[in-house]
With several copies, the nearest count.
Chain A
């Protein structure tokens, strides 16, 4: 699984992307965030406020209940502010 981060999520995690193995018991975006938060305080500081985080899988916006697999590119970022 490829994880990518943008804006203040990237700043808090301290990198723009990383490879990570998806644990077998993690099936949804919501569970993936819980898993990341459990790793250490850095992920916790970046992802703990789920209402402030948006997620894309393979470059498409998804909700927290969307399934995730080890072959996915999963992006975490704040609500977008372009235009």
Chain B
């Protein structure tokens, strides 16, 4: 069963891996993805992540369950932050553990594509010109299609 957290606080990758792994020796591959606040134009003061409490957890759990089935993952963990973040801050952590590396890589890649296009989060970027809601990217919707074609 995937472990999901939607939280304001930061996360510690090493601690999350240690907890998830425990003393198991049946996994050979651990992949983590960390998404961070990127200051593209050099003028970002802060980013606020709004989300839909309740739906967020359900949507992430649904997708994580699909990933676990599809790649027979040993363990799976998703942490997504909300609230006010600064440039460089962590936004999201995905951890996948599997017997084999390609399963762990693909499952993490898949989870991120689905989080980007399905999890109800919205980014508000604050610069000295004011607040601006980030537009969804066409490329994220396209990324999602890769997994539909593979099914």
Q: Do A and B come from one complex?
A: yes
Say whether B115 faces chain A, with CB atoms less than 8 Å apart: yes
Q: CA A78 – CA B120 in complex, angstroms?
A: 9
Which residue of the partner chain, among B54, B59, B112, B136, contacts A81 with CB atoms under 8 Å?
B136
Q: CA A4 – CA B115 in complex, angstroms?
A: 21
Please give the number of chain B residues whose Cβ is less than 8 angstroms from any Cβ of chain A in the complex: 28
Q: CA A82 – CA B116 in complex, angstroms?
A: 5
Say whether A63 faces chain B, with CB atoms less than 8 Å apart: no
Q: Given that A7-B50, A59-B52, A59-B55 are contacting pairs, would A80 and B124 also be in contact in the complex, using a CB cutoff of 8 Å?
A: no
A 2-54 contacts with B by CB, 8 A: 4, 6-8
Q: For residue A72, give the distance in angstroms from its CB to the closest CB of chain B.
A: 13
- Nearest to A79 among chain B residues (CB) is B136
Q: Is the CB of B112 within 8 A of A80?
A: no
Q: Given that A56-B52, A82-B115 are contacting pairs, would A77 and B120 also be in contact in the complex, using a CB cutoff of 8 Å?
A: yes
B136: A residues at CB distance < 8 A: 78-81
- Nearest to A11 among chain B residues (CB) is B133
B 77-108 contacts with A by CB, 8 A: 80, 91-92
Q: Is the CB of B55 within 8 A of A56?
A: yes
Q: CA A82 – CA B92 in complex, angstroms?
A: 9
Q: Is the CB of A83 within 8 A of B52?
A: no
Say whether A66 faces chain B, with CB atoms less than 8 Å apart: no
Q: Is the CB of B119 within 8 A of A83?
A: yes
- Taking Cβ atoms with an 8 Å cutoff, the residues of B that contact A are 35, 49-52, 54-55, 58-59, 80, 91-92, 112, 115-124, 133-137
10 A-B residue pairs with CB within 8 Å: A7-B50, A7-B124, A56-B52, A59-B52, A59-B58, A60-B55, A78-B122, A82-B51, A83-B35, A83-B112
- Taking Cβ atoms with an 8 Å cutoff, the residues of A that contact B are 4, 6-8, 56, 59-61, 75, 77-83
* A-B pairs, 6 with minimum CB distance: A82-B121, A79-B136, A59-B55, A7-B122, A83-B116, A83-B115
